[in-house]
Every structure is written in structure tokens, then in C-alpha cells.
Amino acid sequence: MKKNIVTIDTEIKVIIGLGNPEKRFENTRHNIGFRIVDAIADRHYGSWSEQKNMLVSSISINGHNLTLVKPLTYMNSSGAVMPHFAKKGIKAENVLVVHDELEKKFGTLSFKVGGSHRGHNGLRSLISIIGPDFARLRFGIARPQDKQDVGNYVLRNFSSEEQALLEEKIDHACDMIDQLFVD
């Protein structure tokens, strides 16, 4: 397997996983951001605590101290966590957002810095608060055949075929994040 060596030219201090907080959304496509930051927390011995409208976990990857975040505001209001971090001097360029991506095949992973929300309401909310210039780890969930069904599709659980590959894909996402912090 080819290793993805990635560089992002800014200092990441906060990693935000996008998702919805209720148990009924736990295994949906829209919650892949939560699942990936959960896996990063597990990998680096983080534990979650509730602060205002979010769950946070402090971890260290290769000596880089990071804060993992799961907004408890639901997807459409994910940006509501940012004023808390702005008070601590965190800017858009210090943020990595992990989210589902309709425009990529299932399990495809890629980094991107900046850009539009492309209809993703969690990204739209963040962009409205801090602008578009943050890093993103995009996890492909593929677009449904019926484009009118996007709202329902993202809130459905992964198919059994996808589920069989999901842990491997999440592990790969964690590897990619770890690579960002190799000196």
C-alpha cells in the first residue's frame, strides 16, 4: 500500500470532527468526522470531556499538542464552537476539519486547504464564522444515485459492504493525520 505523505503549511492546533451528537446518528455517513476523531483520541490516549457546546480531548502526536473537538450543536451549527477557540488565539489556519464528502468514492481520503462548502452544512457553518481557509480531511461517502435524496442519504448508516471496510478506512485516516505531525 502506498503511503500518503502530506504537508499542510500551517500549524494545526485543533482537529474538529463533524457529526451529530445523538446516539441515533452514531453510525451514519454524516458522522464519519466524529468516528475519525474518536479513533485519533483512542490511538493517542485521549479522553473526552464536555465543555459548553462541545466534547474536547487533549492529545499529543509526536510532541505536537492538539485539541480534538466534537461539536454538540448538530451539523448545521458546527461553527458555533469557533468563538471559544478564537478567544484562545486559534485562527482558521490552525484548524483541521474532518468531514464526509459526497463528491468522492466511498473511503477515498484527501486533504484540502480552503474552498467552498459545496452544500455541506457543517462546512457552511464553519465558513460563516472563520472563513474558508482551514484544512480539511475529506472522507468519501459517494453521492446517492438520486441527487434529491442527499439529506436522507447522509443520515443513513453505511451499507454492509461499506461497514466491512470502514475500520480499515478510519485507521488510514488516522495514519494520514499522524503524518501531518512527523517532523
Could you give the residue numbers annotated as active site?
A: 30
The per-residue pLDDT for range 101-136, each reduced to its tens digit, is 999 999 999 999 998 888 799 999 999 999 999 999
Domain 14-179, CATH class in plain words: alpha beta
Look at residue 6 and tell me whether its pLDDT is greater than 80: no
Percent of the chain whose predicted confidence (pLDDT) is above 90: 84
The per-residue pLDDT for range 17-30, each reduced to its tens digit, is 999 999 999 999 99
This prediction has a pTM of: 0.93
Domain boundaries along the sequence of the chain: 14-179
Name the average pLDDT for the chain. 92
Torsion of CA 131, 137, 138, 140, to 10 degrees: -170
